[in-house]
Amino acid sequence: MSKKTHTAQAADVEILSLKDGAYKQAAGADTVTDFAHYVIEKCKGFGTPDYKLTDEAKTELYDGYRLRYAQKSKRPIVYAVISGDYYEFDKLTPDQKDKVKEKIEMSVDVAFSFTSNEYGKLANDRPQFHKLVGEWRSATSTYCSNRFKDLTKEAKRILSGGKKGTRNPNLSFAETIDKTMESLKTKLAKCVATKSDSTADQVKFNKALSAFLAVWKA
């Protein structure tokens, strides 16, 4: 019997066994740690509270993340243009494919080839194409953001010496009620001051609170 090779969707790394997969998982984790050390050294302050990367550094990071996403997860897709709408060509029936007169290829590079102004103009000039480009840009940006969060999390772990943050003790039920009431009072005051919520009734709240506390504190 031939041995099966398990491959993730659009992946470029074969997993041959649990042992092999564990080794590659560990190698991936080590890469994140090694890179976090590199960024900490190159960008002094990275991983510390309130630190903000320079635009140049963040652009370089995101360029790398986009390159990986384009390689692994979001390969180019050919779309058929039918009555101004876009459909994945490979998902059409043979008869539908024969009637297609216009096709385009979309990729991460194409989606991000538009400047912010050019992308914005598409909303008026080519709304359906704008939507398609937006879907690609959004999916790519989410991937990049998640990888950056992974990097930042690892940098913070390194700088803390691997210590986990201290967990606040659980509040008692009575303490939870007190905290909730204070939160409601703050939110009500804000709504009343800004007149942003017609349901924020100070008089009703005061009466309800008094009635509740009369029973709760008895």
Measured distance CA(110)–CA(114) in Å, rounded = 8
**pLDDT tens digits, one per residue of 61-80:** 999 999 999 998 888 999 99
Confidence of residue 6 (pLDDT cuts 50, 70, 90): very low
Confidence of residue 25 (pLDDT cuts 50, 70, 90): very high
pTM score, whole prediction: 0.67
Q: Phi/psi of residue 82, each to 5°?
A: -125, 115
**pLDDT tens digits, one per residue of 143-200:** 999 999 999 999 999 999 876 555 567 889 988 988 898 989 888 888 888 777 878 8
Q: What is the pLDDT of residue 168?
A: 63
